Amino acid sequence: MASLGKGTAFRTGRLRKTLILLVAAVLTAALACPAPARAQSIALVRDAEIENDLKGFATPVFEAAGLEAQDISIHIVQSDDVNAFVAFGQNMFISTGLLLFAQNANQVTGVMAHEAGHIAGGHLARREEEMREAMMQQIVSLVLGAGAAVGGSPGAAQGIVLGGQQIAQRGFLAYSRGHEASADAAAIKFMEETKQSPRGLMDFLTLLSEKEARAVQKDEYVRTHPLTPDRIEFVRDQLKISKYADAPSPPGDDEKFARIQAKLTGFLEPLTKTLQKYPETDQSLAGRYARAIAYYRKPDMSKALPLIDGLIAEHPKDPYFWELKGQMLFENGRLAESIPAYEQAVKLLPESTLLRIGLAQSYLETNNPAYVDAALANLHEAVAQDGTIPSVWRQLAVAYGRKGEFGLSALALAERAFLLHQFKEASAQIARAEKMLPVNSAGWQRAEDLKLAIKNAKDAG
């Protein structure tokens, strides 16, 4: 995997799954400001551990809001800005800046409960209707770009996400003060119903207000979520009468949050800054985790490997420690050694699509024919779990090609091209596949289905 420091380039064939930087659309940082506005590239981060933990924090409040938790995707934006927003109801975006700014899991859960309030309240409906086509293209590009990057396809990742600056500068993500108050009230209700303290939301807003008082330029969260004294006072008053004002976070949440911050620090910050925050004297799990990542990124494997091996010795059933070890070895050219670590990660967390993709790529990168069937098995399982990640189909194409099943290889490339809205390429690969696949076979029938899907997509505009 490419590390996430500034100026980092993708290493073709070495892009891994723990934290993946996607060079995404040129999207304005000031989403609520009309053009001209300060614009910057944003990036999406894919990480199985962080995504799963955030979903774990959010699921109870989603359910309390009457939302289908499995239908809401949480995306991590690599940005120093403190920001969170929802788009089209089913996509929640949270910046790494917010995750590093927050002080505990309860604050992050409070923010996600607030965003769930926007979803449940339908606050984006009018703006979404007005800007549906433009925004949908933007969101689709970002999400598909993240999927393309997962399997080491940086060219595709860049190609599908460029050109979003004009769309981003129209201010469709700004909420009114009335919507903010409504979302705050909903968040408190959701937290109460899940027996969690609303204190996190109040503390977060208070911290942000204090930060704003010292800042020259407003944070993006404040730009898109108007921060007023009335809002803070309302949340504070509700906290006073809450039955759960002093309720602790759900068991394990703060430990998971500490790991999220350690992981982001290790990947996003320079070694010197990581060591300032997590000095060698810090023997906590989070401290050692952060240093293991930071030393591996330097790279200094003589320090990184003992740290991760120590964590594994203490927590042998933690899939994310095994994943990190596999990544360390893989990226340092020790491909064969990386496989047992990735295999153990998948064994411990078989439902993780990202871990299976990582293992499959490790198998294929060795160029050892003995691993092709194992790669195919993991890729088939990954598709069954989530067939919307374009890179899975790219790896399937490679694996089928190595087995001489060129019809299925072409069909896999057609699936990938279809997901990326590259309909001309998809049609060309379908034509290739149909020439090689037996008529009426499962693959041939799928090719026919894809042709119809392409026609319907084109007809829909």
Assign 393 to helix, strand or coil.
helix
The pLDDT score that the predictor gives to residue 397 is 97
Strand duo 73-78 + 91-95: pairing? parallel
- CA–CA separation, 180 and 172 (whole Å): 15
CA distance 48 to 146: 13
SS3 2: coil
The pLDDT assigned to 352 comes to 93
Q: What are 309's two structure tokens?
A: 């091996």
State residue 235's pLDDT score. Answer: 92
Structure tokens at 248: 């602790």
**SS3 of residue 84 by DSSP:** strand
Q: Where are the alpha helices (DSSP H) in 269-365?
A: 271-277, 285-297, 301-314, 319-331, 335-348, 353-365
Residues 182 and 51 sit within 8 Å (Cβ to Cβ): no
CA 113 to chain centre: 18
Which residues face 411 on adjacent strands?
Answer: none
Residues 6+ apart with CB under 8 A from 327: 1, 16, 17, 18, 296, 338, 358
Q: What is the pTM assigned to this prediction?
A: 0.82
> CB 55: neighbour CB atoms within 10 A?
17
43 forms bridges with which residues in the sheet?
23, 78
Edge-to-edge strands, sheet with 84-87: 20-28, 39-46, 73-78, 91-95, 84-87
The torsion angles phi and psi of 28, rounded to 5 degrees, stand at -60, 140
Task: Give the number of other Cβ atoms within 10 Å of residue 446's Cβ.
Answer: 17
What residues contact residue 194 under an 8 Å CB cut-off, 6+ apart?
A: 60, 61, 63, 64
- Residue 124: predicted pLDDT: 64
Taking the C-alpha atoms of residue 167 and residue 77, their distance in angstroms, rounded to an integer, is: 18
- Pairing type for strands 91-95 and 84-87 reads antiparallel
Give me the phi and psi of 84, to 5 degrees please: -155, 145
pLDDT of amino acid 210: 87
How confident is the prediction along the chain (461 residues), in pLDDT tens digits per residue? 333 322 222 222 333 333 333 222 223 222 333 333 333 445 778 889 999 999 999 999 999 999 999 999 998 888 888 989 887 667 898 999 999 999 999 999 999 999 999 888 776 665 555 445 445 555 555 555 555 455 443 332 222 222 233 334 334 455 567 788 889 999 999 999 999 999 999 999 999 888 877 765 666 677 667 777 888 899 999 999 999 999 999 999 999 999 999 999 999 999 999 999 999 999 999 999 999 999 999 999 999 999 999 999 999 999 999 999 999 999 899 999 999 999 999 999 999 999 999 999 999 999 999 999 999 999 999 999 988 888 899 999 999 999 999 999 999 999 999 998 899 999 999 999 999 999 999 999 999 999 999 999 888 76
How many CB atoms sit inside 10 A of residue 384's CB? 10
Identify how many contiguous H helices and E strands the chain contains and give both numbers: 22, 5
Q: What contacts 326, CB < 8 A, 6 or more positions away?
A: 338, 339, 341, 342, 345, 358, 359, 362
Q: What distance, in Å, lies between the first and last C-alpha atoms of the chain?
A: 36
